[in-house]
Amino acid sequence: MSYVKGLKCRECHRLYPTEALYVCEFCFGSLEVDYDYDRIKAAVSREKIEKGPKSIWRYRDLLPIDGAPTVGFHAGFTPLFRAENLGRELGMKELYLKDDSVCHPTLSFKDRVVAVALTKAKELGFSTVACASTGNLAGSVSAQAAWAGLNRFIFIPADLELGKVVGSLTYAPNLVAVEGNYDDVNRLCAEIAARYRWAFVNINIRPYYAEGSKTYGYEVMEQLGWKTPRHVVVPVASGSLLVKIWKAFNEFKKLGLVDEADSKIYAAQAEGCSPVVTAFREKSDILKPVKPKTIAKSLAIGNPADGPYALDAIKASGGRAECVTDPEIIEGIKILARTEGIFTETAGGVTVATAKKLIETGAIPKHESCVICVTGNGLKTQEAVSEHIGKPYQIKPTVESFEKTLRTEAKIKEDVWQTR
């Protein structure tokens, strides 16, 4: 059972069949999945969703697959929780974290999009899948295609973090490190995609793949008790996640599953790769591509495919775009770890630091609800923080050495040393 009508050009609205297509032949606009919302409205309800599987597939009626899901049965349905400690630190009354650093199976929100993309790729008859990745997509396609028994080609920039390389290579894909940045990788992959009958999840399967990101937004609403938050801070690489969270909020409103979709959406980028922020500040509809230079490699896309649509969503929602420096990103990672016990990767450092900035400047009022998106796991980007978190105390295996070293080197309060 599917409610998909077909693909539709985002620019000229021409219709296309549900195939491995992604660009309009007439105007070169990108294609998007088109649904029959009247029929979906008759079929879905809060109760039906609540009875569904504890994964992205509880929202299956709003995803672009024809049959039952066949890949990624446990992706999604990650925790959303009140961040009391971080809230206190930032002076926020109602702060929440949506934590995809524990998404199954590869610890980033990319597991959602890949579950949808590979299920669709199988429906379309592909036996080989591929992707151009900034890191997390590489791991997720490698893992989920391994499980699904699909041939897999993974293309990454050659300077990726070790954790991302190992986190892909272990699943035995054909991992290709390209000498260049992500935008070079992506351009090469577009040429390769035109040559072979492969499903490139973020190129020729992109319309379906991108829909998987909506589940992050659906979960935020369901987990808040079928409500939208007043503010959401979203990391931006290609801009797809941001666009789809906005779409998810508006779909639930249209379907009567939430009363309001009046959230303000904020784009968070690293200063060293902030084309969306620059366009927002210059009040321009045109994004100028940049050469990325930041530790936030998962967000290092200098020419974001969905950048213009992200700008539209930010503006339509009344939000804004903001960026932070590499030292601020490191501080964001450390604040989140120290207050909430969560180790996020650089992208999470970007959203936490950007949220902090937006709160401190008054853009996000302290008495209104706010969700910060945490989209990836810190164990994959250890080099970002390893030089900034101190070192373990080195001691001999004796109590004497322990006490001597800790008493001289660590500034521990005297009452901690109370003996029994």
Ligand X SMILES: *Cc1c(COP(=O)(O)O)cnc(C)c1O
Minimum gap (Å) between residue 40 Cβ and Zn ion: 24
Residue 9 binds which entry of ligand X, Zn ion, none, CB below 5-8 Å type-dependent: Zn ion
| Separation between Cα atoms, residue 86 and residue 95, nearest integer Å | 8
- Which residues make Cβ contacts (< 8 Å) with residue 140, sequence separation at least 6? 105, 106, 108, 110, 111, 113, 114
158 is a site residue for Zn ion (CB under 5 A): no
Residue 174, Cβ neighbours under 10 Å: how many?
A: 12
When CB distances to ligand X are compared, the closest residue is: 376
11 is a site residue for Zn ion (CB under 5 A): yes
User: Residue 295: which of 273, 278, 262 has the closest Cα?
Assistant: 273
Pick between residue 12 and residue 172 the one whose CB is nearest to Zn ion.
12
Q: Which of 9, 83, 143, 221 binds Zn ion (CB under 5 A)?
A: 9
Minimum gap (Å) between residue 87 Cβ and ligand X: 22
Stretch that binds Zn ion, among 3-11, 189-197, 347-355, 365-373 (CB under 5 A): 3-11
Q: How would DSSP label each residue in 156-186? A: EETT--HHHHHHHHTT--EEEEESS-HHHHH
Minimum gap (Å) between residue 193 Cβ and Zn ion: 19
- Sheet containing strand 15-16, strands side by side: 15-16, 4-9, 31-35
Q: Which of 29, 53, 79, 180 binds Zn ion (CB under 5 A)?
A: 29
Contact of 75 with 56, CB cutoff 8 Å: yes
Residue 238 binds which entry of Zn ion, ligand X, none, CB below 5-8 Å type-dependent: ligand X
Beta-strand pair 4-9/151-157: unpaired
Applying CB under 6 A, the residues found at the interface with ligand X are 108-110, 134, 136, 235-241, 298-299, 345, 347, 375-376
27 is a site residue for Zn ion (CB under 5 A): yes
Contact of 248 with 226, CB cutoff 8 Å: no
Minimum gap (Å) between residue 385 Cβ and ligand X: 15
Residue 27 binds which entry of ligand X, Zn ion, none, CB below 5-8 Å type-dependent: Zn ion
Residue 332 binds which entry of ligand X, Zn ion, none, CB below 5-8 Å type-dependent: none
Q: At 148, is the secondary structure helix, strand, or coil?
A: helix
Residue 369 binds which entry of Zn ion, ligand X, none, CB below 5-8 Å type-dependent: none
Listed in sequence order, the DSSP H helices in 255-397 are 275-281, 307-317, 326-340, 346-360
Residue 24 binds which entry of ligand X, Zn ion, none, CB below 5-8 Å type-dependent: Zn ion
Residue 376 binds which entry of ligand X, Zn ion, none, CB below 5-8 Å type-dependent: ligand X
Binding region for Zn ion (CB under 5 A): 9, 11-12, 14, 24, 26-27, 29
